[in-house]
Chain A
Amino acid sequence: MSIVSDIGKYFLLLKRVIAVPDRGKMFFRQFPKELEKLGLQSLPIVLIISIFIGAIMTMQTMLNTSNPLLPAYTTGLVTRDTLLLEFSSTIMCLILAGKVGSNIASEIGTMRITEQIDALEIMGVNSANYLILPKITAFVVMMPFLVIFSMGVGLVGGYFVGVFTDIMTTGDYILGIQYAFVPFYVCYSLLKSLFFAFIISSVAAFYGYYANGGALDVGKASTNAVVNGSIIILLFNILITNIMLN
Chain B
Amino acid sequence: MIEVKNVNKSFDEIQVLKNVSVVFETGKTNMIIGQSGSGKTVLMKSIIGLHRIDSGRIEYDGRNVPDMRMKEVRMLRREVGMLFQGSALFDSMSVLENVMYPLEMFSDVSNDEMMERALFCLKRVDLQEKSFALSPSEISGGMQKRVAIARAIALQPKYLFCDEPNSGLDPKTSLVIDQLIHEITNEFDITTIVNSHDMNSVMEIGDNIVFLHQGELAWQGNKEDIFHVDNQELNDLVFASELFKQVKKANQKREAADIKKGLA
Query: Which A residues are within 8 Å of any B CB, using their own CB?
Result: 22-23, 25-26, 110-111, 114-116, 118-119, 121-126
Contacts and interface: CB of A to CB of B under 8 A. Distances in A.
B106 A122 contact: no
B193 interface: no
Given A22-B105, A26-B105, A124 B75 contact: yes
A123 B77 contact: yes
Given A22-B105, A124-B106, A119 B78 contact: no
Q: Which of B86, B89, B105 has the most CB of A within 10 A?
A: B105
B74 interface: yes
B82 to A, nearest CB: 5
A123 B48 contact: no
B106 A115 contact: no
A115 B78 contact: no
B66 interface: no
Contacts of A22: 105-106
Contact of A26 (B50, B91, B104): B104
A115 B88 contact: yes
Contacts of A118: 50, 84, 88
A229 to B, nearest CB: 23
A125 B50 CA distance: 13
**Chain A interface SS verdict (over half):** helix
Contacts, number: 53
Contacts of B86: 114-115
Nearest to A113: B86
Contacts of B48: 122
Interface in B76-106: 76-78, 80, 82, 84-86, 88-91, 101-102, 104-106
Interface in B91-144: 91, 101-102, 104-106
Given A119-B82, A121-B77, A122-B77, A23 B90 contact: no
B81 to A, nearest CB: 8
Contacts of A111: 91
Nearest to A125: B105
Interface string B47-78: 01010000000000000000000000011111
Contact of A124 (B50, B74, B84, B85): B74
17 contacts: A22-B105, A22-B106, A23-B104, A114-B91, A115-B84, A115-B88, A116-B91, A119-B82, A119-B84, A119-B90, A121-B50, A122-B80, A122-B82, A122-B161, A123-B78, A124-B78, A125-B105
Nearest to B163: A115
